Amino acid sequence: MSEETAYRDAIRKWAAAHHVPQNALDRWLDWSETDALALLAVARDLRLRTGQVLSALEMLAEIGVREGQGAASILAHAELRPIIRGGGSRPERARALIDKLRELRYPRLSRTRTKMEAAVAAMSLPPGLTVALPKDLSSDELMIRLTVRSAGELDRLLAALAARKEKIKALIEVLGGSDEV
Amino acid sequence: MKFELDRVFVEEEFRDGPMARRILERLPPGVPLEYVADGRPAAMADRSQPDSFAAGKRRLILMRRRSPFLMACPAGSGEFACCGYLVLTLASNCPMDCAYCFLQEYVADNPGFQVYANYADAFDELQALVRKAPKRNFRVGTGELADSLAFDTLTGLSLELVDFFARQRNLTLELKTKTDEIENLLNLDPRGQVIVSWTLSPHAVFASSEHRSAPPAARIDAARRVADAGYGVAFHLDPVIAYPEAERDYLQLLDHLFAVLDPSRIVFFSIGGLRLSPGLRAAARRRFPADPMLAGEEVLAPDGRYRTFTPLRARLFRTLSERIRRQAPGLAVYLCMESSAMSERIFGAPPPVPAVLGERLAQARRS
């Protein structure tokens, strides 16, 4: 068996064992040998689940298009190397890898969301009052939810909400593009 | 524009018509010609081709349009603040090939480059519209399912369109293009009834995604020339693509535009963000896998389209509209395919209802 066939067979074998859909496998096999094997090595080392491999495949390809890099170079990135090679359980590292890839794939979205989540956390909302950011910051709707069981609780939560009105307004402004993103 | 055509089909009933004569006289030599009773099969996707959409662009079909020419803009929807634009479909598909173009999905089953030979019926439809609403003003564009000018060297359609609209009082024609094919327009008198509009993108977007279109500087220069010839000019910053240097590049583009063209000569601006349905996104990425403009920070939005995440999109809209307003206070600027809430956020006031905005934009040229 030639080396060319051997690496492709290794990927096919892993994909078959993990029920990777054919179109995803085709994309994987379209990569250069170095890139395709880099993902296989990570998938084996971290025992990635099928969904995680599919996410990694898509994000690595998209980061690659934008940055002009192959999967092997991206996976050797200084921010990813410690996750892949570092300590911790494999499931934790697998999750961390996907999270970090998402940060690299959506850098400005990640920064903005982190900043907004920190602003929500800094409000120290009481139990029963939540401020929820839209998923992936995909809309300009901020959801504020009050959960009450008594009139007194309603008064307390409304007062807590009123006390945070300016901070919530600032959050709405960030959602509406007022800040450097 | 240089056409790359594999074959031309002409429906029998139009073989001796003026449009067929014009097109056949101007065709590049050696393109096979076939007369057919019905051009519709030739317009359908040839799935045996690896890229049936691109193959469709290379089959020109001169045929009858069998449905109305005039319709409301297909981008319009109750969920968006719309501009009251009416679309006159004189052709379908386009010789250019923009990576983000919605036609990749919209005409995927019928990608043949169709030119409608019974276009005179469109004038009847327009006159019926005017008779029905004689006190209203309408902005009617030919640049939705095709570029308005990309095939004008072949068809010479703009000559008849401008002549027709110049004789109207409450119809304004918008010719929307990414070309600099304006020669046919320069010797006509539009009498205040014709706007030529350009989709403008920074050079990086042009180079990466707007294949076979004119470079942005050429579009701006063409705009200056048609403005000198008495046309209204307008610009669509659409789609705004939020690549890392986008803010800088779009502002530089606007600065260049305002340096070349006096803002007082511009009728309006529209701004819209990149928006891709899942089907369009898949088709575009399949056809242009190496285009970084298709790998930006788009997320699935509540309307089911992939859009740049909201704070970044809104920031770009705000920055661009502020720069336009600084250069041209009072100039009409509106958002395309965005909610009323987004418009209010960017412009500080809710947008007018579509009919009112449409009326304003139609009259803007004459005010």
Is pLDDT above 60 for B110?
yes
Residue B130 counted as domain residue: yes
Strands B232-240, B266-273: pairing kind: parallel
User: Is the model more confident about B354 or about B226?
Assistant: B226
Shortest CA distance to B310 belongs to which of B338, B285, B335, B278?
B338
Q: Out of B295, B299, B300, whose CB is closest to A66?
A: B295
User: How confident is the model over A121-177, as pLDDT tens digits?
Assistant: 999 999 999 999 999 999 999 999 999 999 999 999 999 999 999 999 999 999 988
Please list every residue in chain B whose beta carbon sits closer than 8 Å to the beta carbon of residue A135.
299
Is pLDDT above 80 for B179?
yes
Burial label for B225, CB within 10 Å (0-12, 13-18, 19+), is middle
Helix, strand, or coil (residue B183): helix
Distance CA A95, CA A154 (A): 39
Residue B320 counted as domain residue: yes
Is pLDDT above 70 for A119?
yes
Q: What is the pLDDT of residue B28?
A: 86
User: Is the model more confident about B80 or about B266?
Assistant: B266
Alpha helices in B288-330 (DSSP H): 310-327
Alpha-carbon distance A102 to nearest alpha carbon in chain B (angstroms): 11
Is pLDDT above 70 for B367?
no
Residue of B nearest to A172 (CA): B311
Is pLDDT above 70 for A181?
no
Q: What is the pLDDT of residue B156?
A: 93
CA atoms lying within 13 Å on the CB side of residue A161: 15
Count CB-CB contacts under 10 A for residue B65: 18
User: How confident is the model over A48-95, as pLDDT tens digits?
Assistant: 999 999 999 999 999 999 999 999 999 999 889 999 988 889 999 999
N- to C-terminal Cα distance for chain A?
52
User: Is the model more confident about B310 or about B350?
Assistant: B310
Contact between B218 and B260 under an 8 Å Cβ cutoff? The reply is: no
User: How confident is the model over A1-41, as pLDDT tens digits?
Assistant: 576 788 999 999 999 999 999 999 999 999 999 999 999 99
Helix, strand, or coil (residue B296): coil
DSSP structure class, residue A80:
T
Shortest CA distance to B325 belongs to which of B239, B256, B254?
B254
User: Looking at residues B285-310, what average pLDDT do you find?
Assistant: 96
Helix, strand, or coil (residue B211): strand
Q: What is the pLDDT of residue B76?
A: 65
**pTM score > 0.90 for this model?**
yes
Chain B contact for A146 (CB, 8 A cutoff)? no
Contact A138 B307 (CB under 8 A): yes
Q: What is the pLDDT of residue B142?
A: 94
Residue B319 counted as domain residue: yes
Contact between B90 and B126 under an 8 Å Cβ cutoff? The reply is: no
Shortest CA distance to B152 belongs to which of B129, B125, B136, B175?
B175
Q: Out of A63, A138, A180, whose CB is closest to B300?
A: A138
Is pLDDT above 80 for B242?
yes
Q: What is the pLDDT of residue A41?
A: 96
Q: Which two tokens stand for residue B77?
A: 């929807």
Is pLDDT above 90 for B4?
no
Residue B350 counted as domain residue: yes
Count CB-CB contacts under 10 A for residue B270: 21
Residue B93 counted as domain residue: yes
Alpha-carbon distance B273 to nearest alpha carbon in chain A (angstroms): 13
Q: Which domain holds residue B264?
A: 65-364
ipTM entry: 0.91
User: Looking at residues B199-210, what average pLDDT do you find?
Assistant: 98
Number of domains in chain B: 1
Distance CA B268, CA B264 (A): 10
Residue B15 counted as domain residue: no
User: Looking at residues B286-313, what average pLDDT do you find?
Assistant: 96
Burial label for B174, CB within 10 Å (0-12, 13-18, 19+), is buried
Shortest CA distance to A115 belongs to which of A173, A74, A69?
A173
Q: What is the pLDDT of residue A1?
A: 59
Contact A137 B291 (CB under 8 A): no
Distance CA B139, CA B357 (A): 10
Residue B18 counted as domain residue: no
Backbone Cα Rg of chain B: 20
Shortest CA distance to B181 belongs to which of B154, B142, B209, B161?
B154
Contact A140 B314 (CB under 8 A): yes
User: Is the model more confident about B219 or about B358?
Assistant: B219
Q: Which long-range contacts (CB under 8 A, 24 or more apart) does A164-170 make?
A: A164/A123, A164/A125, A167/A119, A167/A122, A167/A123, A168/A123, A168/A131, A168/A142, A168/A144, A170/A119
Q: To 10 degrees, what angle do helices A90-105 and A50-67 make?
A: 30
Least-confidence region, from A147-161, B43-57, B140-154, B328-342? B328-342
Average pLDDT, chain B: 93
Q: Which two tokens stand for residue B229?
A: 């010839």
Please list every residue in chain B whose beta carbon sits closer than 8 Å to the beta carbon of residue A177.
310-318, 345
Residue B20 counted as domain residue: no
Q: Which two tokens stand for residue A31?
A: 């990569």
B176: domain CATH number is 3.80.30.30
Q: What is the pLDDT of residue B77?
A: 63
Separate counts of helices (H) and strands (E) for chain A? 10, 2
Amino acid at B90: L
With bands split at pLDDT 50, 70 and 90, how would you rate the model's confidence at B364?
low
Is pLDDT above 80 for B15?
yes
